[in-house]
Amino acid sequence: MKPTILLAALLASTPLLPAEEQVFFAFDDQNLAWKHNLKLTLETATKHPDNPVLRRGPEGAPDHGHAILYGTVVKDGDTFRMWYLGMFETENLNGQAPGWWRPMCYAESKDGVHWTKPELGLVEFNGGTKNNICLIEGEPESLTRVNDFLSVLHDPDDPDPERRYKCAYIAHPPFGDVRGGRSKIGPNEGRWGAMICATSADGLRWKIVGDRPANAEGERFEVSSLYRFGDFYYATGQLLSPWSWRADGSPVGRDVLAYRSPDFVNWSRAKASSFARAGQLANPPVPGQQCHMGFGLWNRGNVLVGLNGLWQDAAEKPPAGENWNYGVRIDLGLVISNDGVHYREPVPGFKLIERGANGEWDDIALLQGHAFINEGDKTMIWYSHWDTGGKLKTMEIGLATLRRDGFGHLSPQVTENDAHFITSPFSARSISLNVDGLAPDAPLTLSLLDPLDRPIEGQEVRLTANGLRAPVEWPRPLDPEAKVALRVHYPADSAAHVYAIYLEP
């Protein structure tokens, strides 16, 4: 088959995403680029009082050693579904899972707080199948053994029902188990830091795609996210020096790179540089500042919002006999992408979820998952604790919440002056705002503009209603085919906080 015909066939077999509403978040400095007298205030999530909400299992369970959200939470109907990594031993072996295996475990909940671990009956473990381990099949067997980060994508529009669930995870197969040579970049560790893809009809029984890792030959790549954006599937993950470097070839430490695939079968050999923290790119770099893994992501249709690990090296060399990463501390920061490839921090170093105070269950380092759900008036975000000292202390799963889509808001910098912002052009049939702080005597004034920033006659309204999705009633119905922009004006002394704008396609 000719290459052009093959590409056309692959794209034709890949389902297009349905039209979704667009969300312009307050921290999106591309869609809300034009601002006058406005500042961004980001919010720190509130931790649930019952944390950790999913704990490790009893002795003999596949998650007795730890239960961590190197994984995903989705909501299917009225059920929250969680995929996470267990560990049955109670101590690390050289910092790795025993036998390079952390079982893919499964849990369910009706409220996202109280979780059950169904007996799936799929995998024999400790002499029986009464456990919550998902089945992964394929050859060679070493590719089916999850070692680290697991990302599950629910892809209900795939025309093949056997591919409605997709996942990517890290395995550590020996070089001899897979065909293909070893990259000459970086040291020979005797095994691959391999990205493995698998598909499933139900999210419980999985089959690996192909018979070799998806990433470049023998190159270490610690995949930690999987998503569909536009025409491609993307997987971001952690690389570190010497496998990765700054643009000038100098060491970068841990940064985030991305692979892509048009069909979830054939993945690019080339990678995109997706993200490095500001201190990593400074000259000279900020000592000890790195990323941890790729991102825990939430695909909102037109934009990706996520968590990244704010890794900070220990201040001193670990004491004799301690883990190599003893003393490493990690909080979780906020990132955003408008193209699915390049990410940025709205406020570099901001901690969306902070590790706990000394003595609290999550006081050492935090791990991100793909675990964002809007439920009622809250955004729910699940995360994990990592004991970088290697003792597996309280490595379990917690929950944090925000006001629904309330990651941050725009408000006047100088309150006694008026302020405004202008969005990028869009087409929509309706507009609503996530807003607080309005009053009848201090409304927001909303105006529609043409693509050259000229007011459209008669299309101006005053908004006085607060709400998570306060509708805007225009004098004339919006033309869903026309390109317009939105101007939002704050009066002097306004207390308004605008969190997000929702555009129905």
* DSSP states along 97-123: -GGG---EEEEEESSSSSEE------S
**Residue 96's pLDDT band (cuts 50, 70, 90):** low
Residue 115 is encoded by which pair of tokens? 């979780």
Whether residues 279 and 419 share a domain: the answer is no
**Residue 241's pLDDT band (cuts 50, 70, 90):** confident
- Calpha distance 115→134 (Å, rounded): 17
Would the pLDDT of 371 be above 60? Answer: yes
- Is there a domain that residue 97 lies in? yes
Q: What percent of the chain has pLDDT over 90?
A: 81
Q: Which of 171-180, 330-339, 360-369 has the lowest mean pLDDT?
A: 171-180
- Is there a domain that residue 300 lies in? yes
Q: Would you state the pLDDT for residue 6?
A: 35
List, for residues 182-199, the tens digit of each pLDDT value: 666 666 666 677 899 999
Whether residues 16 and 128 share a domain: the answer is no
- Is there a domain that residue 8 lies in? yes
- Is there a domain that residue 211 lies in? yes
| Cα distance from N-terminal residue to C-terminal residue, the chain | 38
Whether residues 27 and 56 share a domain: the answer is no
Q: How many residues does the chain have?
A: 505
- CATH code assigned at 331: 2.115.10.20
- Calpha distance 252→274 (Å, rounded): 13
- Do residues 379 and 401 make contact, with C-beta atoms less than 8 angstroms apart? yes
The per-residue pLDDT of the chain, averaged, comes to 91
- Is there a domain that residue 46 lies in? no
Whether residues 21 and 55 share a domain: the answer is no
Whether residues 490 and 355 share a domain: the answer is no
Residue 474 is encoded by which pair of tokens? 């225009």
Q: Would you state the pLDDT for residue 90?
A: 73
Whether residues 293 and 415 share a domain: the answer is no
- Is there a domain that residue 212 lies in? yes
List, for residues 248-269, the tens digit of each pLDDT value: 999 999 999 999 999 999 999 9
* Domain end marker among 369, 385, 401: 401
- CATH code assigned at 32: 2.60.120.260
Whether residues 133 and 201 share a domain: the answer is yes
Whether residues 414 and 365 share a domain: the answer is no
Domain carrying residue 439? 3-41+409-504
Q: Which has more pLDDT, 194 or 431?
A: 431
**Residue 14's pLDDT band (cuts 50, 70, 90):** very low
List, for residues 176-235, the tens digit of each pLDDT value: 776 665 666 666 666 677 899 999 999 999 999 998 889 866 678 899 999 999 999 999
Q: Would you state the pLDDT for residue 182?
A: 60
Whether residues 115 and 162 share a domain: the answer is yes
- Calpha distance 241→232 (Å, rounded): 27
Whether residues 436 and 334 share a domain: the answer is no
List, for residues 443-491, the tens digit of each pLDDT value: 999 999 999 999 999 999 999 999 999 999 999 999 999 999 999 999 9
Whether residues 240 and 217 share a domain: the answer is yes
* Domain end marker among 356, 380, 401: 401
- Do residues 501 and 24 make contact, with C-beta atoms less than 8 angstroms apart? yes
Question: pTM here?
Answer: 0.93
- Do residues 330 and 263 make contact, with C-beta atoms less than 8 angstroms apart? no
- Calpha distance 63→56 (Å, rounded): 5
Residue 71 is encoded by which pair of tokens? 């994984």
List, for residues 409-430, the tens digit of each pLDDT value: 999 999 999 999 999 999 999 9
CA angle, 128 as apex, 122 and 130 as ends, to 5°? 60
Q: Which has more pLDDT, 44 or 97?
A: 44
Whether residues 263 and 395 share a domain: the answer is yes
Q: Which residues contact 393 (CB under 8 A, 6 or more apart)?
A: 364, 385, 387
Alpha-carbon torsion (148, 106, 356, 92), positive or negative: negative
- Do residues 204 and 107 make contact, with C-beta atoms less than 8 angstroms apart? no
User: Averaged over 431-441, what is the pLDDT?
Assistant: 97
* Domain end marker among 357, 383, 401: 401
Would the pLDDT of 434 be above 70? Answer: yes
Residue 259 is encoded by which pair of tokens? 């692979």
Report how many domains make up the chain.
Answer: 2
- Is there a domain that residue 187 lies in? yes
